[in-house]
């Protein structure tokens, strides 16, 4: 059942009846966790209901864009979540999305260098999988609600909860999950089928969402930060802008998914422990706790999507759990992988299909076939095997030729994109000069002449917007070509294809495309070393001649 939110502009608040018999068991569990007084407070807290809090307390960005999901909390509170889509083949339970995360700068590479990860959402629609992540860091008001302190929240209670240990954060996620499952199971999204729970995010879940997930294009996703325009102060509360104290959530611009305070404010605790990056793979030694996103104490240059930091779980001075002054949390709504017998059967069936598929031949099959021909005494069987060897060679040559043609096609496309980007940049410069000249003329004109000049400037500005949109599209295609050539096609195949295409273009007199091809070959090595270039860097790479 859906209970309307507190105002028509806000999303619906999901809520429902208390599960029969849920309250006594819940109170007993809470008593063991937090003491009899807190359990008694729950008994008088009342059933899950529409939130009593003003929307500014739990979703301050709602006026611009309401949250995707609002979950109820004790004391009439609420928490806002955003849906994070992970495009995969939802019907295949073993399909997941391959991601390139991290960054290419060597200074902090031991911690956050480029790496390959895989991700799949716990919930599914017909088109994709998804999970939910907190739109904001958990606030003081929400922390108090989970302790059943039901005093009306003030504006300062919108401040991010901080000063937590990793164990405190896990306990808060446990308290909230148990309360939701006992008191408001109908509040969970329908895809959860009543089986969802809250926990700290994994590093992959956090970074994928921080970069904007599927809501951002490939160029921006790979960039150091989720935005390309504006200043870090527009998006984060950091050193120099926050006086060293954690502040209310939602005061800065959101990322493309609608998440606030991804950079700065409270540094957010992760579920799993720290591991070094061993030049692209997780190192074998497992360490302390991890925080992501930086804090109000971080310098602006320390705030970027791949940033991660290790702290000890316990203080050396007294052995107590470390509770950093800026340690906070953002929760993820998820569910079990093997959530039902039917689900487990589907996973097992798909796994067996993959496991029992013919394995790739480790040795060269042509060598094996030659040995069989030599050992075969029957002339007729030997002749048949020789024919088979010929067919196999022809098929392999055809496949190699197809790979070369694919590589040539991608190289040619990349060369054409370089030429198109250069032409577009020249036209953008020319039209920009035209606008500046018109602006100068507008300043010294009046009457009908002024109106005509303004109309002309507006036309040129529309053309400039179209040219920049086209440039952005060309850059996406150029990045795709570079990624394909650097990571999906064997280097030897690319090298052979480059030589063949170079000869063909020279023989046909296509010097313009040939120069673009040679430029692409230079760009390829630089891109392979830094595949997380931002759009401006990629454009400079394409135009740098």
Q: Per-residue pLDDT tens for 148-192? A: 999 999 999 999 999 999 999 999 999 999 999 999 999 999 888
| CB distance 26 to 146 below 8 Å | no
- Domain shared by 41 and 98, yes or no: yes
**363 in a structural domain:** no
The domain boundary residue, chosen from 316, 342, 368: 342
419, part of any domain: yes
Whole domain around residue 62: which residue ranges?
2-342
Is 249 in contact with 260 (CB distance < 8 Å)?
yes
Range of weakest confidence among 11-20, 147-156, 207-216: 11-20
pLDDT tens for 441-496 read: 988 888 889 899 999 999 999 999 999 999 999 999 999 999 888 888 888 888 88
Same domain, 400 and 333: no
Query: Which DSSP category does 190 fall into?
Result: G
Dist CA 67 CA 482 (whole Å): 36
Per-residue confidence (pLDDT) for residue 23, from 0 to 100: 39
The pair of structure tokens assigned to 214 is 């599927």
Helices (H), 1-108: 22-34, 36-43, 55-58
Sorting pLDDT into bands at 50, 70 and 90, what band is 22? very low
One domain, residues 129 and 263: yes
Do 403 and 498 share a domain, yes or no?
A: yes
Q: Is residue 416 part of a domain?
A: yes
Enumerate residues 6+ apart whose C-beta is below 8 A from 536: 228
Q: At 321, which CATH number?
A: 3.90.1580.10
Looking at the domain assignment, is residue 367 inside a domain? no
Q: Do 68 and 119 belong together in one domain?
A: yes
- For 255-282, b/e burial (b = at least 16 CB within 10 A) is bbbbbbbbbbbbbbbbbeebbbbeeeee
Tell me: do 136 and 21 sit in the same domain: yes
Q: Are 249 and 139 in contact (CB under 8 A)?
A: yes
CB 262 within 8 A of CB 281: no
Number of domains in the chain: 2
Q: Pick the closest to residue 260 from 230, 234, 299 (CA basis).
A: 234
Same domain, 487 and 413: yes
Distance CA 420, CA 389 (A): 46
Q: Over the stretch 331-340, which tens digit does the pLDDT of each residue have? A: 999 999 998 8
* Same domain for 114 and 59: yes
pTM of the model: 0.74
* Last residue within a domain, chosen from 292, 327, 342: 342
Do 315 and 391 sit in the same domain of this protein? no
Does 191 map to a domain? yes
Tell me, rounded to whole angstroms, the distance of Cα 200 from its chain centroid: 16
Could you tell me if 325 and 386 lie in one domain?
A: no
Total Cβ atoms within 10 A of residue 315: 13
347-355 long-range Cβ contacts below 8 angstroms, 24+ apart: 347/93, 347/94, 350/92, 350/93, 350/94, 351/94, 354/94
- Residue 133's DSSP bridge partners are 82, 332
pLDDT for 28: 45
Q: How far is CA 343 from CA 92, 93, 506, in A?
A: 11, 8, 58
Span 417-427, mean pLDDT?
A: 91
Residue 289 lies in a domain: yes
**Segment 49-62, tens digit of pLDDT:** 457 999 999 999 99
Among 318, 342, 366, identify where a domain stops: 342
Nearest to 153 by CA among 58, 231, 80: 58
165, 326 in Cβ contact below 8 A?
A: no
pLDDT for 42 beyond 50 = no
Q: Is residue 199 part of a domain?
A: yes
Please say whether the beta carbons of 523 and 485 come within 8 A: no
Q: Tokens for 92?
A: 């295949």
Has residue 361 been placed in a domain? no
- Do 126 and 262 lie in one domain? The reply is yes
Say if residue 123 is in the same domain as residue 264: yes
Using CA atoms of 115, 121, 122, 126 in order, give the dihedral in degrees to the nearest 10. -150
């Amino acid at each position: 059942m859906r209970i309307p939110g507190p105002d028509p502009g806000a999303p619906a608040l999901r809520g429902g009846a208390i599960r029969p018999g849920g309250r006594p068991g819940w109170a007993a569990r809470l008593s063991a966790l937090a003491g009899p007084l807190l359990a008694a407070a729950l008994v008088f807290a009342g059933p899950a209901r529409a939130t009593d809090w003003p929307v500014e307390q739990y979703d301050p960005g709602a006026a611009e864009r309401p949250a995707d999901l609002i979950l109820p909390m004790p004391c009439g509170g609420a928490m806002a979540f955003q849906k994070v889509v992970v495009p995969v083949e939802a019907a295949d339970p073993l399909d997941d999305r391959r991601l390139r995360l991290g960054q290419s700068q060597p200074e902090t590479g031991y911690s956050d260098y480029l790496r390959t990860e895989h991700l799949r959402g716990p919930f599914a629609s017909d088109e994709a999988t998804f999970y939910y992540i907190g739109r904001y860091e958990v606030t003081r008001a929400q922390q108090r609600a989970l302790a059943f302190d039901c005093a009306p929240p003030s504006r300062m209670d919108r401040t991010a909860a901080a000063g937590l240990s990793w164990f405190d954060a896990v306990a808060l996620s446990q308290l909230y999950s148990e309360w939701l499952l006992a008191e408001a199971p109908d509040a969970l999204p329908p895809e959860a089928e009543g089986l969802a729970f809250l926990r700290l995010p994994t590093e992959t879940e956090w970074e994928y969402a921080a970069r904007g997930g599927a809501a951002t294009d490939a160029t921006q996703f790979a960039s150091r930060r989720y935005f390309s325009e504006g200043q870090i102060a527009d998006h984060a509360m950091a050193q120099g802008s926050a006086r060293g104290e954690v502040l209310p959530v939602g005061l800065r611009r959101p990322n493309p998914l609608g998440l606030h305070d991804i950079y700065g404010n409270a540094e957010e605790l992760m579920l799993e422990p720290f591991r070094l990056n061993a030049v692209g793979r997780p190192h074998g030694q497992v360490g302390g706790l991890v925080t992501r996103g930086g804090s109000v104490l971080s310098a602006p240059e320390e705030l970027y999507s791949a940033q991660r930091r290790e702290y000890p779980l316990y203080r050396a001075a007294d052995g107590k759990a470390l509770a950093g002054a800026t340690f906070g949390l953002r929760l993820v709504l998820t569910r079990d992988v093997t959530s039902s017998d039917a689900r487990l059967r589907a996973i097992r069936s798909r796994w067996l299909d993959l496991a029992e598929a013919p394995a790739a031949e480790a040795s060269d099959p042509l060598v094996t076939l030659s040995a069989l021909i030599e050992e075969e005494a029957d002339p007729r069987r030997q002749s048949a095997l020789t024919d088979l060897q010929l067919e196999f060679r022809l098929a392999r040559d055809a496949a190699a030729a197809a790979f070369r043609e694919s590589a040539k096609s991608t190289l040619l496309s990349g060369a054409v994109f370089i030429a198109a980007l250069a032409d577009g940049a020249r036209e953008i410069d020319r039209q920009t000069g035209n606008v500046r000249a018109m602006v100068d003329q507008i300043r010294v004109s009046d009457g009908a002449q002024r109106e005509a000049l303004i109309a002309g400037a507006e036309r040129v500005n529309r053309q400039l917007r179209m040219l920049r949109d086209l440039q952005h599209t060309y850059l996406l295609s150029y990045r795709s070509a570079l990624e394909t050539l650097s990571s999906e096609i064997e280097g030897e195949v690319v090298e052979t294809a480059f030589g063949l295409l170079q000869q063909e273009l020279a023989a046909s007199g296509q010097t313009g495309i040939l120069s673009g091809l040679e430029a692409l070959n230079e760009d390829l090595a630089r891109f392979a070393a830094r595949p997380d270039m931002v759009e401006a860097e990629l454009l400079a790479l394409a135009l740098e001649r």
